[in-house]
Chain A
Amino acid sequence: MSTWHEYVQKTGKVPEWPYPVNYGQMNEITTDVLVIGGGVAGLQAAINAARMGVKVAVLERGHAKRSGSGGAGVDHWHGAVTNPCSKVTPLMYTNACYDSMQGWTGAHVRYIITKESWDTLRECEQMGIQIRDVKDEFKGAPFRDETSKLMFAYDYKNRHVIRVWGWNIKPKLYEQAVQLGVNIQNRMMPTALLTEGGKQGARVVGATAVNTHTGEFFVFKAKATVIATGGAGRLFTFEPEVTASSSMSDMNSAGVGQALGWKAGAEFVCMEASGQGRLSGHAYAPYSMGNTHNTYHGTPIVDADGKEVPWIDVFGNLLNTVDDRFLPHGKQDFILGEGIGIGPYLQQFRGNDLTHDLVEKIRKGEFKLPLYADFTRLSALERRCIFGMMVGNEGKTRIAIYDTLTKAGFDPDKDLFQAPVTMPEGYAHPNFWSTGVNTAPTVRMLGGGGFLVDWDLKTNLEGLYIGAGGNLFGGGCHGESHTTGRYAGKHAAAYAKTAPEPKIDKTQVNKEREFAYNATRQSKEGNGWKEINAAIARIMRDYCGRYKNATTLNLGLRLFNELKTAELATAYASNPHELGRLLECYSLVTLGELVMKSSLERKASNTILDFIRLDYPAMDPPEWNKLLPVRQEDDKVKVRSLPLDFHLKAPYAADFEENYQQHTTK
């Protein structure tokens, strides 16, 4: 007996909620630094703040031992350019990101990441994460350095992306945080940031939250706060029955951190940016099928008759060996690597790829479906590294893929691993399992916009810092989340050491408490959270999809108000779990409004942001080559304009290293 259905039908009884429920019961926690979000970024923030001798509390939505997008593991670590084998410098890497994005990424955040990524990884090693081939399993491999025993991905010449055995990285961070005495509060759904006087734009002095096991209310009082939350996979599409198993962000990713910040008056940029929702759409279980991208980069692909698909370099020249797939060619500077939150890549930093006429050749019948990944064509070391080291340590692969498939008899030494069978266009990108072609173009995902921060990773609000991958303008993926979390945690601790005592506004607390339990007081006839979430996603797809104009955006905002005052206001939660999910729906609405309001401010279409305004169809007019930071003041949108290279303009120095040296904590 495993499921609720079995239980009910065997016993004839509906089981009672297993935890004591005390809706609204007050708890108060006072701390120096509060970290909202206990994923890899949040625990790094907590650990590093605690090491500076301040009191730290973490407010976590799930359970911090294994939660968060990065909590499921990691197999390669980006931006480690200061490792002893790297031929790339922080400036080279930062410029490669900034130039590839044509300026539409926070280069100061990228620079901080590249300066400290390797140090952060070494600290993970001290916590017990394997980052070197200590057992000499891969001795002599072209991707291994024989002295340091480090192993590299994507670019075996320039050696700045490190392959790591990170399946247990989250439990190790958790152990460290517990050892340092961090007060970790699990199962917490945050509802608001507390500000001085309860005013939008004032100093942040803590947060309120509801426990989703007990329903109790928590007030966190803090001198400094770090937001370290993730993305919002449920904003544009909500069909967990089909898509939760294919997603790389779990159900808790509901834009909660962004919503908290927006309501408190924090400034955001590029929230109008979005892209087609590859990973949140109708994909296959991550890494579960033949492909040659990311973790599987370089794996030979053959057709149904065993004919191999050729590889080419970025100039279109055929590559003859597997090793060539991991090297820059011609005048290329270095290969930047995949999965760092960069959309387009300039030619000199792009990776090698399957031949670009594959789609055409499938249509003509030159390659016959289905395609397969043929690991047997790899050297024994590369094969073991891809399926055994990387698959086995990457997020959602150790149990879900390696353990499951090997127990079922799959053997990369003997078997061809089938790719999805889909439309020819589905093979245009080597990540076949994420099958963007199955996802309607209206289904979007947030695309690189986020909190606007300064060189301290501090927001415009006093006391509020950001450390994360998904919600930070200039953030990236797994390693970037660790590194920015660590940096933000240190700065928050430094601020907390001299900051005045926080003053909580009782009126704000009471208002939040009253609001938080609304759904428990409604009629049982009210809507449930899934019904509401599906409606939110519908509004976003229809009124803020790929094509929009001022009228659709304003209609979308109107419909959000309709939803808030009708179905959402009367929605019913029958237990603390449902209450948490309904409160997330409020966050999703707030985030949706932020995206729509940001979209209204950009009166121009933009290629890099994948942003199309039907009422301003001209693409990329130069006068709109600027950031448009937005924030709320008295619940009204305030917008200003900022040059793309603001991070090197007054009040900052004109040089990356000079700014970094002025702002880093030693």
Chain B
Amino acid sequence: MSEKSYMVPNPPTPNKAVTFNPDVCIGCNRCVEVCPTDVMMPNPEKKKQPIVVYPEECWYCGGCVEECPRPGAITMLHPTQQRISMNWKRKDTGELYRLGMNNPPPPNLRPPSGE
């Protein structure tokens, strides 16, 4: 059972820059509107999540995530070459962690100062 194959260019690098959760996203396109470099475009189908067209133009300012009225609808995804570089070690146990690992540790829920 295989899906139809298409002649498409290689996936761009980075592949995504941001990713959408279609169950949460309401397709309001506020992220599309504020993106300084038009990384995303509106979906031809109304009320659907935007389409990432130019991920290599993303500079990871995070404005789209800040602008989103539905937390969790859009997530910034650092390129894999950056995720693989963000490593830390728990001081008392020596355990190694990295951004994007399988079975990550529980989140640190402390908000930034001022919140």
Seen from chain A, the residues whose Cβ lies within 8 Å of a Cβ on chain B are 1-5, 7-9, 12, 15-16, 18, 61-63, 65-68, 71-72, 130, 135, 137, 165, 167-168, 187, 212-213, 240-242, 244-247, 249-252, 284-285, 288-289, 372, 374, 376, 384-385, 388-389, 391-393, 395-396, 398-400, 402-411, 414-418, 420, 577
B62 & A251 in contact (Cβ 8 Å cutoff):
no
Q: Report which of B8, B63, B109, B112 forms a contact with A71, defined as CB distance below 8 A.
A: B63
CA of A75 to CA of B108 in the docked complex: distance in angstroms? 22
A63 & B33 in contact (Cβ 8 Å cutoff):
yes
Using Cβ atoms and an 8 Å threshold, which residues of chain B touch A420? 85
Assuming A388-B112, A577-B54, is B36 touching A66 (CB within 8 A)? yes
A392 & B59 in contact (Cβ 8 Å cutoff):
no
Number of residue pairs A-B, CB distance < 8 angstroms: 214
A389 & B114 in contact (Cβ 8 Å cutoff):
yes
B76 within 8 A of A: yes
CA of A382 to CA of B37 in the docked complex: distance in angstroms? 36
CA of A367 to CA of B89 in the docked complex: distance in angstroms? 18
Seen from chain B, the residues whose Cβ lies within 8 Å of a Cβ on chain A are 3-4, 6, 8, 11-16, 18-20, 22, 33-38, 41-42, 44, 49, 51-63, 65-67, 76, 78-79, 81-82, 85-92, 97, 99-101, 104-110, 112-114
Which 5 pairs between the two chains have the least Cβ-Cβ distance?
Answer: A399-B62, A62-B36, A392-B112, A409-B105, A66-B63
Q: Report which of A5, A187, A251, A388 forms a contact with B59, defined as CB distance below 8 A.
A: A251
Using Cβ atoms and an 8 Å threshold, which residues of chain B touch A289? 85-87
B97 & A409 in contact (Cβ 8 Å cutoff):
yes
**Residue with the greatest number of chain A CB neighbours at <10 A, chosen from B38, B113, B114:** B113
Using Cβ atoms and an 8 Å threshold, which residues of chain B touch A246? 82
Q: Report which of B19, B91, B108, B112 forms a contact with A2, defined as CB distance below 8 A.
A: B19
A212 & B38 in contact (Cβ 8 Å cutoff):
yes
Q: Which residue of A lies closest to B59 (CB)?
A: A250
B63 & A400 in contact (Cβ 8 Å cutoff):
no
A415 & B113 in contact (Cβ 8 Å cutoff):
no
15 sampled A-B residue pairs with Cβ under 8 A: A4-B51, A4-B53, A7-B51, A18-B44, A65-B67, A66-B34, A244-B59, A245-B60, A251-B57, A285-B86, A389-B112, A406-B110, A407-B107, A409-B97, A411-B108
Q: Report which of B108, B109, B114 forms a contact with A130, defined as CB distance below 8 A.
A: B114
CA of A132 to CA of B80 in the docked complex: distance in angstroms? 37
Q: Report which of A1, A242, A288, A406 forms a contact with B22, defined as CB distance below 8 A.
A: A1
CA of A403 to CA of B107 in the docked complex: distance in angstroms? 10
Q: Report which of B15, B51, B104 forms a contact with A409, defined as CB distance below 8 A.
A: B104
A245 & B16 in contact (Cβ 8 Å cutoff):
no
Q: Report which of B33, B44, B78, B114 forms a contact with A16, defined as CB distance below 8 A.
A: B44
Assuming A384-B113, A400-B62, is B97 touching A415 (CB within 8 A)? yes
Distance in angstroms from A440 CB to nearest chain B CB is: 18
Distance in angstroms from A495 CB to nearest chain B CB is: 30
Q: Report which of B49, B61, B82 forms a contact with A1, defined as CB distance below 8 A.
A: B49
Assuming A374-B91, A399-B65, is B110 touching A388 (CB within 8 A)? yes
Q: Report which of B41, B60, B67, B92 forms a contact with A400, defined as CB distance below 8 A.
A: B60
A3 & B112 in contact (Cβ 8 Å cutoff):
no
Q: Which residue of A lies closest to B79 (CB)?
A: A245
Q: Which residue of B lies closest to A304 (CB)?
A: B89
B78 & A285 in contact (Cβ 8 Å cutoff):
yes
Q: Report which of A285, A389, A411 forms a contact with B113, defined as CB distance below 8 A.
A: A389
A418 & B88 in contact (Cβ 8 Å cutoff):
yes
Distance in angstroms from B42 CB to nearest chain A CB is: 5
Using Cβ atoms and an 8 Å threshold, which residues of chain B touch A168? 66
A416 & B3 in contact (Cβ 8 Å cutoff):
no
Assuming A398-B62, A404-B76, is B113 touching A165 (CB within 8 A)? yes
CA of A388 to CA of B112 in the docked complex: distance in angstroms? 5
Assuming A61-B36, A67-B36, A212-B38, is B63 touching A2 (CB within 8 A)? no
CA of A392 to CA of B66 in the docked complex: distance in angstroms? 12
